[in-house]
Structure 1
Amino acid sequence: MKVNDLCEILMEDPIIAGIKDDKGLQSVISSNRKVVFVLYGDILNITEIVQRLKLNNKIVFINVDLIDGFSQKEIIVQYLKKYSQLDGILSAKASMIKTAKSEGLLAIHRSFLIDSFAFHNLDKQVDISHPDFIEILPGCIPTVISWIIEKITIPIIAGGLVCTKEDVIAALSAGALAISSTNPEVWNM
């Protein structure tokens, strides 16, 4: 999958389902959500989780920082590319993003904007990792999203604490391409 293809999908359907357990997996399989962020799993079950999602025509991104049983080294990305059908990864680590890109996977750099220091360092992190997308957490701060849009030309995904229809509308209106949520109520908006 190419960046432009995913952008088109997200422009048409801007809500990304995040799943953090098997209950979420079951819910997302029966939902209309096309793009899924896998935020759980371990070395023994991650390929099965991806396979179940792919069998249900989902576009799958794995948060490699949250998979149990792997070291936090770049080899995890190569392993997942070789042994699963994932479309891309999420990570807060620039080295993981760079590895995903070199493996031909889509890469989403997660950035936790907890203060102004994190905000001002975002462009430095992006210069190192060269991601396809940036996920901003928390995603419920439209003012900050608009600041990032002015500063960085990479598509933004707003994630974390996006809980209501108003949050979704505010994030998208501020310039986010999409939002991600683990809340099935948000998936159905």
Structure 2
Amino acid sequence: MANHERTIDTEPIFEGRMIRVNKLTVELPNGKTSTREVVVHPGAVAVLAEVSQNRVILVRQYRKACEKELWEIPAGKLEKDEDPLQAAIRELSEETGYVAAKLEPIYRFYTTPGFTNERLHVYYADELTEGDVHPDEDEFVDARAFTRDEVERMMASGEIEDAKTLIALLWWRTRA
């Protein structure tokens, strides 16, 4: 790796219930040193759930970091040592009440590699059975099914602003 940055020192800055922030001192490829602030994240999952042909579930949730409600596909963070597929099954059920007969992986990507190691696993789910919604106690979501035309309009108007959701919906559009 010609452009590898070797970590010389790690200074813990913050540790919360979901993330850790470290200040790293690194040796650059040219031998000089620099610093990097890195958010260490356990990873996350997201599920594009097609409840019937050409209808997907989106959840509307207030996101404090953005100070607004966003339309998103169901998603959540991985618990320690949790299998991403099991997490996807859990999150879909918690946020929408649906249980999928099958889930298939779509993508796996780093959300913002400039400052975090968060890796997101995106799944596609269909053959759904409706059940009871049971969100986490600090989670308030409204789930709703949207047609392909409604999703197209929401994407074109900028109503959907969440990156993981846009990526999954763009993938879904190619399956038409």
In our comparison, the structure showing a higher alpha carbon Rg is 2
Name the TM tier (shorter chain).
under 0.3
Q: Which has the larger helix fraction?
A: 1
Q: Which has the larger strand fraction?
A: 2
Give the TM-score normalised by the residue count of structure 1.
Answer: 0.22
Give the TM-score normalised by the residue count of structure 2.
Answer: 0.23
